[in-house]
């Protein structure tokens, strides 16, 4: 189903796999899911370790300032897209997978410019369901809708076949609700 090796290069340290609706336009990827579909996914998940957090983010050029509303922590990072692709898991599926690999860099907070000079402000709730120390199922909810994606934090020392198997099994479980 998903070959992580094809998404990884020397700079990749983050891969996100979004559950996407059928794609009508190659320039628009609809990743918004109905709450009923998300509830069905959660009922079938083999995870017990979860955490929900509220965030506010401010974006300026390639930098994102993230403020964690629950514990007053802050972080700045840049997320550079390396590769992306759309996968139709099987011919009868009404859902697609949008896979993106990134170079995600954490930076000192003082590198973010003045908040009066920002490109975008966003508030959202993030629910993280950990499957392993590197793989999580994320449900992100903002004012526009809810989104489900699998986050894999890559390291060159990781046994990629085992991670790939975990992710593909999770995708099969999720798409059974399709």
One-letter-per-residue 3-state SS of the chain: CCCHHHHCCCCCCEEEEEEEECCCECCECCCEECHHHHHHHHHCCCCCCEEEEEEEEEEECCEEEEEECCCCEEEEEEEEEEEEEEECCCCCCCEEEEEEEEEEEEECHHHCCCCCCCCEEEEEEEEEEECCCCEEEEEEEECCEEEEEEEEECCCCCCHHHHHHHHHHHHHHHHCCC
Q: Tens digit of pLDDT per residue, the chain (178 long)? A: 788 888 999 999 999 999 998 777 778 889 999 988 898 888 887 667 889 999 999 999 889 999 999 998 999 999 999 999 998 887 777 889 999 999 999 999 999 987 788 999 999 999 999 988 999 999 999 999 999 999 999 998 898 999 999 999 999 888 875 5
Structural domains in the chain plus CATH codes: 4-175 (3.20.100.10)
């Amino acid at each position: 189903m998903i070959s992580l090796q094809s998404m990884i290069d020397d700079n990749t340290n983050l891969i996100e796999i979004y559950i996407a609706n059928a794609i009508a336009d190659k320039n628009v990827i609809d990743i918004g899911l109905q709450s009923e579909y998300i509830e069905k996914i959660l009922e079938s998940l083999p995870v017990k370790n979860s955490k929900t957090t509220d965030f506010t983010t401010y974006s300026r050029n390639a930098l994102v300032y993230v403020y964690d509303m629950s514990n007053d922590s802050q972080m700045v990072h840049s997320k550079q897209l390396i590769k992306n692709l759309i996968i139709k898991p099987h011919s009868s599926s009404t859902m697609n997978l949008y896979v993106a690999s990134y170079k995600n860099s954490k930076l000192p907070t003082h590198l973010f410019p003045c908040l009066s000079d920002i490109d975008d402000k966003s508030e959202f709730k993030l629910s993280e369901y950990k499957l392993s120390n590197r793989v999580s199922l994320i449900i992100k909810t903002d004012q526009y809708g809810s989104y489900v994606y699998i986050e894999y934090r890559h390291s060159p020392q990781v046994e990629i076949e085992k991670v790939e198997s975990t992710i593909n099994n999770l995708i099969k479980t999720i798409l059974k609700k399709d």
